[in-house]
Protein backbone atom coordinates (compact mmCIF):
# COMPACT_ATOMS: atom_id res chain seq x y z
CA UNK A 1 0.00 0.00 0.00
CA UNK A 2 0.98 3.61 -0.46
CA UNK A 3 0.84 5.63 2.74
CA UNK A 4 0.90 9.42 2.82
CA UNK A 5 1.80 11.00 6.14
CA UNK A 6 0.82 14.49 7.29
CA UNK A 7 2.73 15.99 10.22
CA UNK A 8 1.05 18.92 11.93
CA UNK A 9 3.15 19.43 15.06
CA UNK A 10 6.63 20.71 15.70
CA UNK A 11 9.47 18.67 17.18
CA UNK A 12 10.06 18.08 20.89
CA UNK A 13 6.84 19.83 22.04
CA UNK A 14 4.32 17.10 21.24
CA UNK A 15 4.67 13.43 20.52
CA UNK A 16 3.02 13.76 17.11
CA UNK A 17 6.24 13.96 15.10
CA UNK A 18 7.68 10.96 16.92
CA UNK A 19 4.51 8.94 16.38
CA UNK A 20 4.56 9.85 12.69
CA UNK A 21 8.17 8.71 12.42
CA UNK A 22 7.55 5.45 14.26
CA UNK A 23 4.53 4.78 12.09
CA UNK A 24 6.45 5.50 8.90
CA UNK A 25 9.29 3.18 9.93
CA UNK A 26 6.85 0.40 10.80
CA UNK A 27 5.02 0.84 7.50
CA UNK A 28 8.25 0.54 5.52
CA UNK A 29 9.29 -2.47 7.61
CA UNK A 30 6.04 -4.15 6.61
CA UNK A 31 6.85 -3.59 2.95
CA UNK A 32 4.64 -0.57 2.32
CA UNK A 33 5.66 2.48 0.33
CA UNK A 34 5.57 5.97 1.79
CA UNK A 35 4.09 8.01 -1.03
CA UNK A 36 5.10 11.19 0.71
CA UNK A 37 5.59 13.12 3.90
CA UNK A 38 3.91 16.49 4.16
CA UNK A 39 4.98 18.89 6.91
CA UNK A 40 2.39 21.55 7.69
CA UNK A 41 1.66 24.14 10.41
CA UNK A 42 4.30 23.84 13.16
CA UNK A 43 5.20 20.51 11.60
CA UNK A 44 7.53 22.35 9.23
CA UNK A 45 9.92 22.78 12.17
CA UNK A 46 10.70 19.08 11.91
CA UNK A 47 12.59 19.87 8.74
CA UNK A 48 15.00 22.55 9.89
CA UNK A 49 18.69 21.89 10.27
CA UNK A 50 18.78 24.57 12.98
CA UNK A 51 18.43 22.15 15.84
CA UNK A 52 21.14 20.75 18.03
CA UNK A 53 19.58 18.53 20.68
CA UNK A 54 21.82 16.96 23.34
CA UNK A 55 23.55 13.78 22.20
CA UNK A 56 21.46 11.55 24.42
CA UNK A 57 18.20 12.71 22.83
CA UNK A 58 16.90 11.90 19.36
CA UNK A 59 17.83 14.29 16.60
CA UNK A 60 14.46 14.76 14.99
CA UNK A 61 15.39 16.52 11.77
CA UNK A 62 18.41 14.31 11.17
CA UNK A 63 16.22 11.27 11.72
CA UNK A 64 13.78 12.47 9.05
CA UNK A 65 16.60 13.30 6.64
CA UNK A 66 18.01 9.80 7.04
CA UNK A 67 14.59 8.26 6.57
CA UNK A 68 14.02 10.29 3.41
CA UNK A 69 17.40 9.35 1.96
CA UNK A 70 17.22 5.70 2.91
CA UNK A 71 13.79 5.07 1.45
CA UNK A 72 13.76 7.67 -1.34
CA UNK A 73 10.68 9.35 0.09
CA UNK A 74 9.25 12.60 -1.26
CA UNK A 75 9.11 15.07 1.62
CA UNK A 76 7.29 18.36 1.17
CA UNK A 77 7.44 21.26 3.58
CA UNK A 78 4.58 23.76 3.23
CA UNK A 79 5.81 27.04 1.80
CA UNK A 80 3.30 29.28 3.59
CA UNK A 81 3.96 27.67 6.98
CA UNK A 82 7.71 27.82 6.32
CA UNK A 83 7.67 31.49 5.43
CA UNK A 84 5.93 32.29 8.69
CA UNK A 85 8.51 30.36 10.67
CA UNK A 86 11.73 31.31 8.96
CA UNK A 87 12.39 28.06 7.18
CA UNK A 88 14.04 28.45 3.81
CA UNK A 89 16.17 26.35 1.50
CA UNK A 90 19.13 27.53 3.57
CA UNK A 91 18.06 25.62 6.67
CA UNK A 92 16.02 22.83 5.14
CA UNK A 93 17.06 19.22 5.68
CA UNK A 94 18.48 17.36 2.74
CA UNK A 95 15.96 15.53 0.63
CA UNK A 96 13.02 17.76 1.53
CA UNK A 97 11.55 20.43 -0.70
CA UNK A 98 9.49 23.51 0.02
CA UNK A 99 6.26 23.57 -1.96
CA UNK A 100 2.60 24.46 -1.75
CA UNK A 101 -0.50 22.92 -0.24
CA UNK A 102 -1.44 21.64 -3.69
CA UNK A 103 1.13 18.94 -3.00
CA UNK A 104 -0.90 17.81 -0.01
CA UNK A 105 -3.91 17.44 -2.29
CA UNK A 106 -1.81 15.42 -4.73
CA UNK A 107 -0.59 13.26 -1.86
CA UNK A 108 -4.17 12.60 -0.82
CA UNK A 109 -5.04 11.59 -4.37
CA UNK A 110 -2.00 9.37 -4.88
CA UNK A 111 -1.99 7.58 -1.54
CA UNK A 112 -4.10 4.60 -0.58
CA UNK A 113 -4.15 6.07 2.90
CA UNK A 114 -3.32 9.54 4.14
CA UNK A 115 -2.85 9.62 7.88
CA UNK A 116 -2.39 12.76 9.95
CA UNK A 117 -0.38 13.17 13.14
CA UNK A 118 -0.88 16.28 15.23
CA UNK A 119 -2.16 17.44 18.56
Partner 1 sequence: MAGEDLNEEERSEEDKKKFLFLMRKAPYGSIYPQGGLEVILIMAAYDQTISVLFADDGVFCLKKGQETAGIHVKDFSSAFKVLESYGVEHLYVDKTSLEERGMKPEDLLTGVEVVSSDEMSGFLSGQDVILPF
Partner 2 sequence: MGTIDMAGKKLEVDEDGYLTNLDDWSREVAGEMAKGEGVEMTEAHWEVVDFLRQYYDEYKIAPMIRILTKEIGKKLGKEKGNTKYLYELYPGGPAKQACKIAGLPKPTGCV
Partner 3 sequence: MLFTVNKSPLTSDNLKTCLRFAKKGNSVLLYEDGVYGAIPGTKVESVVKEALKSIEVFALKEDLKARGFGEVIDGVKLVDYAGFVGLVEEHNVCPWL
Question: In whole angstroms, what is the distance from residue 111 CA to residue 10 CA?
Answer: 23
86 is a contact residue toward partner 2 (CB under 8 A): no
Which option in partner 3, partner 2, partner 1, none does residue 22 bind, with CB closer than 5 to 8 A by kind? partner 3
8 A C-beta contact, residue 13 and residue 22: no
Q: Which residues in 1-119 belong to E strands, given as ranges?
A: 2-7, 33-39, 75-78, 96-99, 113-117
113 is a contact residue toward partner 3 (CB under 8 A): yes
100 is a contact residue toward partner 2 (CB under 8 A): yes
3 is a contact residue toward partner 3 (CB under 8 A): yes
Calculate the alpha carbon distances from 99 to 6, 18, 62 in Å: 14, 23, 20
Angle between helices 60-71 and 16-29 (to 10 degrees): 20
Whose Cβ is closer to partner 1: residue 54's or residue 102's?
102
52 is a contact residue toward partner 3 (CB under 8 A): no
Min CB(24)–partner 3 separation in Å = 9
Q: What are the residues binding partner 2 (CB under 8 A)?
A: 78-80, 83, 100-102
Amino acid sequence: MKFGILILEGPYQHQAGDSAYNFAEAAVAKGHAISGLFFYCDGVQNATTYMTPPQDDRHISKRWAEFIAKHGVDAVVCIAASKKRGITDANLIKGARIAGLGQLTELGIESDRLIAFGD
